[in-house]
Amino acid sequence: MDSREEAKWAAARGALEYVQDGMHIGLGTGSTACKFVELLAELAKEKNWKFVCVPTSEVTAKQARDLGLKLDGSYPDFGKLDIVVDGADEIDPHGNLTKGGGGALLREKYVALNSGKMIVVVDEAKHVEHLGDTFKLPVEIVAFAWTSTMQRIAPYVKSMELRKRDGKIFVTDQGNYIVDCELYAASDPVQLHEQLKALTGVVETGIFPHIANVCITGLADGGSRKQEF
């Protein structure tokens, strides 16, 4: 296993510390969050612990189901969750996140805001001084009249492109599109999030301002580091 994979497993293992029998747990999306889902399913079997889980994407829902984890039957009208464990594309020193690399940012935000604690699992490469330093900001927009929504976003970002996969426009689980935006250096993430949210046609941004409570950074040697916000 390469050292980055090892670090992602270490972060996922670190998040198990927050899990208790009977919890309602939000399951994130991405290559780090899916490792946590695997470990959670193992824990449930080993200890005969019961969880009720809320997935942040169809991909994670399938993974959880296949591993025998119970999903909340009232989804998507789920109630308050104890914790959510999710990855991030970037995290700044204040715990602000960029998310949405996997296109699940809207559900991820719903689940995070409905959780008592958001635990972020990352490897060292995700730590940045300013959001936007290493990753373009995903912004979810309605498919209707998407070109004019992009024109509204344009003054706030350096450049942007509509997300495509295999030559086709990428469509989110909610049927929306995603615009990946290159940010101006050292943009204020909270202000930018608010400005973009105010634009007609913007559904949600991938900035998670002051939502994360804990960040577990997995290390290549199999250990992990914890920060609280």
- Report, as residue numbers or ranges, the catalytic residues: 108
14 binds ligand 5RP (CB under 6 A): no
The answer to the question of residue 88 lying near ligand 5RP (CB under 6 A) is: yes
Sign of CA dihedral 11, 182, 110, 163: negative
Our finding on whether 189 is near ligand 5RP (CB under 6 A) is: no
Q: Pattern of binders to ligand 5RP over 24-63, x per CB under 6 A?
A: ----xxxxxx------------------------------
Q: How far is the CB of 123 from ligand 5RP (least distance, A)?
A: 8
Question: Judged by CB under 6 A, does residue 87 bind ligand 5RP?
Answer: yes
Give yes or no for residue 101 binding ligand 5RP (CB under 6 A): yes
Using CB under 6 A as the binding rule, whether residue 209 contacts ligand 5RP is answered as no
**Residue 105 vs 157, nearer CB to ligand 5RP:** 105
- Binding part of the chain for ligand 5RP, among 83-91, 141-149, 159-167, 191-199 by CB under 6 A, reads 83-91
Contact between 217 and 225 under an 8 Å Cβ cutoff? The reply is yes
Question: Quick one: which of 26, 55, 95, 100 contacts ligand 5RP (CB under 6 A)?
Answer: 100
Report the residue count for the chain.
229
Distances (CA, A) of 194 to 78, 82, 191, 200, 207: 26, 27, 5, 12, 10
Task: Confirm or reject binding of residue 218 to ligand 5RP (CB under 6 A).
Answer: no
Rounded to the nearest 5°, which phi and psi values hold at 130?
A: -130, 140
Contact 115/15 with Cβ under 8 angstroms? no
- Which amino acid, 145? A
Residues near 111 by Cβ (< 8 Å), separated by ≥ 6?
26, 28, 54, 56, 78, 81, 84, 86
Using CB under 6 A as the criterion, which residues of the chain lie in contact with ligand 5RP when the complex forms?
28-33, 86-89, 99-105, 108
